[in-house]
Structure 1
Amino acid sequence: MWFSLARRLGSLLIVMFLVATMVFFLTRLAPGDPAAIMLGDQATPADVERLRAVYGLDKPVLVQYVLWLKEVVQGNLGQSIFLQRPVTTALAERVEPTFFLTLFSIVIATLIGVPAGIASAVWRGRAVDQVVSALAMLAANIPSFWLGLIFIQFFAVRLGLFPVAGYGDPGASLAERLAHLVLPAAVLGIVNSALITRFTRASMLDVLGDDYVRTARSKGVPETGIVLRHAFRNALVPIVTVIGLTIALLVGGAIVTETVFGLPGIGNLVVSAVLRRDYPVIQGALIAVAALYVLINLAVDLIYTLVDPRVRA
């Protein structure tokens, strides 16, 4: 097991190196000069060149890459050009809304998707299955920004139940700030529950037809016990996989939702950095998201050994 874990960690380090390399060179392909954007239209070419020299943008791209990679290995993601602070500090200041938004969204998606998928599999071909499948298909095709605007118009503007946008005042309590996440978390949870529903249904259908399920029924085991104790436990591996992938998708997909609801999260920070050509922030945020993807995949692999002893063996 330890050898397998070490091999897995080694492959993840290679993935992170490739991601870091792609992120660096792809950001340099974007049109626009951050120094010129920062100084504005009135700046002279000499002013732009001086600012480029300050941030090392006048060096050859390969030299910039080597210097940047050396800093990343040491845990330094660089200095933001526009925010005038370390990228790690800028990310840390924005991580709370994104963290809680992702957490609430995956809880909502799981609470909707897993029971709906189980019910759809148990009553396959019946009205429940058809309704659940139709709703899952609808949720999978609804744009999150459109659903967010509908929720704002109905629940925030018309009914006044939740804040329209933002994350509360700087001195607001945690409960008040979290109230601003109810609508965006519901949007992301509903949209992403479709994938969990379909995977849960497919996984449950695979195990409900196995011999041990028929044997349990022949012994008179209650249907609830068969579904939850026998079938669901053996169907957990694909379900855990899709939940882990959904968490990773939520982190990346939160950019649009944070923009719609005006949340000061990492997604909003990335959008602003792209518009300003703030290379260090773009690179640092993408590396952080990629590292999260890698850690989630590793955690899912470790959870496999807990939910299914056959994987451990």
Structure 2
Amino acid sequence: MRSYLLRRLIGMVVVIFLVLTITFVLVRLAPGDPAALMLGPDAAPAEVAALRIRLGLDQPIAVQYLTFLGNILRGDLGQSLFFNQPVATVLASRAEPTIFLALFSLLVALVIATPIGIWAAYRRGSFLDQMSITSAMLAASVPSFLTGLVFQRYLATDLGWFPASGYGGAGASFTERMRHLILPAITLGITNSALILRFTRASMLEILGEDYVRTARAKGMTERRVILRHALKNAGIPIITVIGLTFALLVSGAVVTERVFNLPGMGNLVVNAVLRRDYPVIQGTLIVVAALYVLVNLATDLLYLVVDKRVKY
């Protein structure tokens, strides 16, 4: 187990290093001068040159890269060119909406997908099974921004059940902020429930055909116990895998939903950072997302031991 964890940690370091390098190169290949964008179109060339020197943008790319790596090793993600604050501070101020949106969306997806996937596998070939497959394909095909706009139109504007956009005012309570996340969470949850539903159904179909399931039924066990205790437990590894990947995707891929509902999350932040050529914020966000991905993958692998004691590393 120790050697496995050591290998995984080394792999995590390699992945993050590659992400750092690729991000650094791609960001600087983008057209536009951050200093000119910060000062505006009326700035004099001398002012732009002075700001480039102050920001270190006049140095060779290799020097900027080594400086960047050295700062990362010290835990310094850099200074935002637009906010004039440490990138870690900027990301921390935007993390709450994105994290809670991902958690609520995953909860909605699980509530929708898990029972339907189990029942569809148990009633294979039935009308419900066919409807579940069709609904999953429809949910995966409709873009989240369209679903969000429809929900805004009818559930927020017409019926007034939920806030249409925003994250509450400056003095909004935690409950009020979470209330603003309900509609975006439903939007993302419906879209991402399709993959979980299909994996749950496929895993359950495979397990329900095993000999030990037929043996459990032959011994007189109730269908509920056979499905939930024997079949679902043994089908848990693929389901846990797709749940972990879905959570990581929700954190990093909620950009469109955050823009539609005007949420001050990390997705909105990175879009604005790209438009402003705020290199440190773009790099810091991608580093955090890459670290989240590898940590979620590691946590998912370790959860296999909880679900199935036969798993050995």
TM-score, reference length from structure 1: 0.99
For structure 1, the residue ranges without an aligned partner over 5 or more in a row are none
Aligned equivalent of 2:249: 249
- The Cα shift of 1:285 comes to 0.5
> RMSD of the TM alignment (CA)?
0.8
Which residue identity does 1:89 align to in structure 2? T
- Give distance in 2, aligned partners of 1:137 and 1:73: 44
Which residue identity does 2:306 align to in structure 1? L
What are the residue-to-residue correspondences of 1:1-313 with 2, within 5 Å?
1-312=1-312
- The Cα shift of 1:16 comes to 0.6
CA distances 1:43-89 after superposition (whole Å, capped 9, x unpaired): 12111111011110000111101100110111100000010000000
- The Cα shift of 1:234 comes to 0.1
Between the aligned residues of both structures, percent identity stands at 60
- Give distance in 2, aligned partners of 1:99 and 1:251: 6
- Give distance in 1, aligned partners of 2:143 and 2:261: 14
Aligned residues: 313
- Give distance in 2, aligned partners of 1:272 and 1:261: 15
Which residue identity does 2:138 align to in structure 1? L
Which residue identity does 1:47 align to in structure 2? E
Structure 1 consecutive aligned stretches of length 4 or more whose deviation exceeds 2 Å: none
Q: State the SS of the aligned residue for 2:164.
A: coil
Q: State the SS of the aligned residue for 1:196.
A: helix
- Give distance in 2, aligned partners of 1:116 and 1:36: 54
- The Cα shift of 1:223 comes to 0.8
Which residue identity does 2:195 align to in structure 1? L
Q: State the SS of the aligned residue for 1:267.
A: helix
- Give distance in 2, aligned partners of 1:151 and 1:62: 49
TM-score, reference length from structure 2: 0.99
- Give distance in 1, aligned partners of 2:123 and 2:277: 53
Which residue identity does 2:165 align to in structure 1? A
- The Cα shift of 1:164 comes to 0.9
- The Cα shift of 1:111 comes to 1.2
Q: State the SS of the aligned residue for 1:32.
A: coil
- Give distance in 1, aligned partners of 2:72 and 2:204: 44
- Give distance in 2, aligned partners of 1:132 and 1:272: 38
Which residue identity does 1:283 align to in structure 2? Q
- The Cα shift of 1:220 comes to 1.2
Which residue identity does 2:281 align to in structure 1? V
- The Cα shift of 1:308 comes to 0.8
Which residue identity does 2:15 align to in structure 1? V
- Give distance in 1, aligned partners of 2:151 and 2:73: 43
- Give distance in 2, aligned partners of 1:248 and 1:31: 30
For structure 2, the residue ranges without an aligned partner over 5 or more in a row are none
- The Cα shift of 1:110 comes to 1.0
Q: State the SS of the aligned residue for 1:311.
A: coil
- The Cα shift of 1:262 comes to 0.3
Which residue identity does 2:206 align to in structure 1? D
- Give distance in 1, aligned partners of 2:262 and 2:146: 15
CA distances 1:238-266 after superposition (whole Å, capped 9, x unpaired): 00000000001101221110010000011
Q: State the SS of the aligned residue for 1:310.
A: coil
Which residue identity does 1:248 align to in structure 2? A
- The Cα shift of 1:134 comes to 0.7
CA distances 1:190-235 after superposition (whole Å, capped 9, x unpaired): 0000000000001001110001001111111111111100000000
- The Cα shift of 1:312 comes to 3.1
